């Protein structure tokens, strides 16, 4: 392994990529599945996966969580909160209040 680029891996779709971490996610597959519109399109891949893995697929469901609860999700950090907040505000919604 060349430590500067990581291990060469091949995903189930045949994409080859280098990864330094144990994360099994193929960056090319992740790029292909990124939504073109909607609130999920504004997020980084790890933040989007964190939201999806917790069953949040709509702004209505997102609004049932507080900011503090969202920040507990692995992969979702403080930089994502303002983007989510704007998406909610555009629909006259907000995060659950603690």
Residues 21 and 64 in one domain: no
pLDDT of 37 reads: 82
pLDDT of 26 reads: 81
pLDDT tens-digit map of 52-91: 999 999 999 999 999 999 999 999 999 999 999 999 999 9
Residue 1 lies in a domain: no
**Which domain does 59 fall in, by range?**
37-98
Residues 57 and 23 in one domain: no
Domain count of the chain?
A: 2
CB 45 within 8 Å of CB 34 = yes
SS3 62: helix
Residues 65 and 77 in one domain: yes
Task: Answer yes or no: is pLDDT of 1 > 50.
Answer: no
Residues 16 and 41 in one domain: no
Supply the CATH number for residue 69's domain: 1.10.150.20
Residue 26 lies in a domain: yes
60-89 exposure pattern, b = at least 16 Cβ within 10 A, e = fewer: eebbebebeebeebebbeeebbeebeebbe
């Amino acid at each position: 392994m060349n430590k500067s680029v990581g291990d060469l891996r091949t995903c189930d779709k045949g994409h080859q990529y280098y990864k330094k971490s144990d994360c099994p996610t193929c960056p090319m597959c992740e790029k292909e599945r990124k939504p073109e519109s909607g609130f999920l399109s504004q997020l980084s891949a790890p933040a989007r996966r964190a939201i999806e893995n917790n069953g949040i697929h709509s702004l209505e469901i997102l609004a049932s969580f507080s900011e503090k609860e969202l920040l507990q999700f692995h992969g979702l950090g403080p930089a994502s909160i303002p983007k989510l907040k704007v998406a909610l505000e555009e629909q006259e919604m907000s995060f659950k209040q603690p």
